[in-house]
Amino acid sequence: MDDDRPLFFHLMAYADDADRDVIDMVSGDPDWEPPAALREGIREFADAPVAAYQYPPSAGDTELRELLADRHEVPVERLLVTNGGGEANHLAMACGLDAHSGNEVILTDPVYPYYADRAELLDADVTYVPVAEDGTLDPASVRRVASDETALIVACSPNNPTGAVYGESVKRELADIAEANDALYVSDEVYEEFDFSGRFHSAVGFDSPNVAVTNSVSKAMATTGLRVGYAILPDRLLDPARTRHMLTNVAVTAPGQYAAAKALRETPDSYYAETRAMLESRIETFCDALDAAGAEYIRPRGAFYVLARFDGFPGTLANAKRLIDEAGVAGMPGEAFGTAREEWLRFALVTPRADAAADRLTDYFA
By CB under 8 A, tell whether 355 contacts a copy of itself.
Answer: no
- The residue type of 332 is M
Spatial neighbors of 270 by CB under 8 A, at least 6 apart, are none
Q: For residue 290, which of 339, 196, 354 has the smallest C-alpha distance?
A: 354
User: Considering beta carbons, is residue 31 or 168 the nearer one to a copy of itself?
Assistant: 31
Instruction: Tell which one of 103, 127, 141, 249 touches a copy of itself (CB under 8 A).
Output: 249
By CB under 8 A, tell whether 214 contacts a copy of itself.
Answer: no
Whether the link from the prior residue into 158 is cis, omega within 30° of 0, is yes
Instruction: Tell which one of 222, 233, 287, 340 touches a copy of itself (CB under 8 A).
Output: 222
DSSP 342: T
By CB under 8 A, tell whether 87 contacts a copy of itself.
Answer: yes
What residues between 104 and 133 interact with a copy of itself by CB under 8 A?
A: 114, 117-118, 121
Contact call for residues 160 and 303 (beta carbons, < 8 A) = yes
User: Considering beta carbons, is residue 118 or 309 the nearer one to a copy of itself?
Assistant: 118
Q: For residue 226, which of 7, 94, 35 has the smallest C-alpha distance?
A: 35
By CB under 8 A, tell whether 272 contacts a copy of itself.
Answer: no
Count CB neighbours of 3 within 10 A: 13
What does R_g of the chain's alpha carbons equal in angstroms?
20
User: Considering beta carbons, is residue 24 or 104 the nearer one to a copy of itself?
Assistant: 24
Instruction: Tell which one of 101, 243, 281, 339 touches a copy of itself (CB under 8 A).
Output: 243
For residue 130, the minimal CB distance to a copy of itself (Å) is: 24
- Quick one: which segment of 22-30, 64-72, 316-324, 326-334 binds a copy of itself (CB under 8 A)? 22-30
DSSP 302: B
Contact call for residues 86 and 245 (beta carbons, < 8 A) = no
For residue 55, the minimal CB distance to a copy of itself (Å) is: 5
Helices (H) and strands (E) in the chain, counts: 12, 13
The partner residues of 211 in beta bridges, in order of sequence, read 185
Q: How far, in Å, are 43, 97, 103, 126, 147 from residue 119 at the CA level?
A: 39, 9, 10, 7, 17
For residue 51, the minimal CB distance to a copy of itself (Å) is: 7
Secondary structure (3-state) at 29: coil
By CB under 8 A, tell whether 234 contacts a copy of itself.
Answer: no
Instruction: Tell which one of 16, 20, 21, 32 touches a copy of itself (CB under 8 A).
Output: 32
By CB under 8 A, tell whether 13 contacts a copy of itself.
Answer: no
Q: For residue 111, which of 132, 131, 141 has the smallest C-alpha distance?
A: 131
User: Considering beta carbons, is residue 173 or 193 the nearer one to a copy of itself?
Assistant: 193
For residue 120, the minimal CB distance to a copy of itself (Å) is: 9
For residue 351, the minimal CB distance to a copy of itself (Å) is: 11
d(CA 315, CA 319) in angstroms, rounded, equals 6
- Quick one: which segment of 80-88, 142-150, 310-318, 357-365 binds a copy of itself (CB under 8 A)? 80-88
User: Which residues of this protein are in contact with a copy of itself, per CB under 8 A?
Assistant: 1, 3, 5, 9, 27, 29-34, 39-40, 42-43, 45-47, 50-58, 83-84, 86-87, 90, 114, 117-118, 121, 222-227, 243-244, 246-256, 259
